[in-house]
Amino acid sequence: DTGVSQNPRHKITKRGQNVTFRCDPISEHNRLYWYRQTLGQGPEFLTYFQNEAQLEKSRLLSDRFSAERPKGSFSTLEIQRTEQGDSAMYLCASSPLGGINQPQHFGDGTRLSIL
Amino acid sequence: GQQLNQSPQSMFIQEGEDVSMNCTSSSIFNTWLWYKQDPGEGPVLLIALYKAGELTSNGRLTAQFGITRKDSFLNISASIPSDVGIYFCAGQVQGAQKLVFGQGTRLTINP
């Protein structure tokens, strides 16, 4: 079990630029989640996938955000035309399918800083 | 929307002391989870609770799922320096996948 892997760990970009983050879930975990965490707060849910299907999106996920999981393995989160308010830690988590709520295991996140 | 109120927001204790923190909600949850987060890292799962009244231990950590399903608490016994960090509770409704997190409890230990 290699854990959830996220790349890059840090991203610094100018306002207005596009950024893309990648998440590799734990092997054989069918469910993949994206959360956003700002300083001093707990993570907030953005979206989740079951295999390649995106099944839920939060109202936090504006039109500038798009997430994909094309082959049901890794996922990407893209932010277009970044704004100052997008500065945050973006966390990915994964869990297996199961009869009851399976606990989600998190990666170490991508910290995004908008200049 | 669903919100979790976690208290205390911060704790300053001496090494060896026991710690207690709790999480309350106005909504019912079917799963409660406790995570620990160190600076620059992601949350690490400590304990998962699935049944009202359930009491579960993981080493020096003990967590309980409240009878009303609207609260949970976490105890740490005989604290050690590596317990320093931010502890988050998270709730999950049956059949829903998103986790709702509390604001965290920051634990600082004086050696």
B1 — pLDDT class (breaks 50, 70, 90): low
Residues B22-27 have a mean pLDDT of 95
Q: What is the pLDDT of residues A89-100, one digit of tens each?
A: 999 999 998 766
Per the model's pLDDT, the better-predicted residue between A6 and A28 turns out to be: A6
For residue range A35-76, what is the model confidence (pLDDT) as tens digits?
Answer: 999 999 999 999 999 999 999 999 888 899 999 999 889 999
Is residue A89 helix, strand or coil?
strand
**What's the rounded mean pLDDT across residues B38-63?**
96
Q: For A7-25, write each residue's pLDDT tens digit.
A: 999 999 999 999 999 999 9
- pLDDT for res B96: 84
Q: Is the dihedral of CA A15, B104, B92, A94 positive or negative?
A: positive
Q: What is the pLDDT of residue B101?
A: 96
Residue A82 and residue B44: Cα distance in Å, rounded?
29
CB-CB under 8 Å, B45 with A101: no
Q: State the pLDDT confidence band at B36, using cuts at 50, 70 and 90.
A: very high
* Nearest Cα to Cα of residue A103 among B38, B58, B82, B76: B58
CB nearest B31 (choices: A4, A48, A101): A101
CA-based nearest distance B104→chain A, Å: 6
Average pLDDT over residues B19-43: 95
Query: So what's the pLDDT on residue A1?
Result: 55
Q: For all residues of chain B together, what is the average pLDDT?
A: 94
HEC states along A33-77? Answer: EEEEECCCCCCEEEEEEECCEEEEECCCCCCCEEEECCCCCCEEE
| Section B103-109 average pLDDT | 96
Instruction: Name the residue facing B30 among A55, A101, A104 (closest C-beta).
Output: A101
Q: How far apart are CA B16 and CA B1, in angstroms?
A: 38
Supply φ then ψ for residue B45, to 5 degrees: -65, 130
* CB-based contact B80:B96 (threshold 8 Å): no
Distance CA B72, CA B87 (A): 13
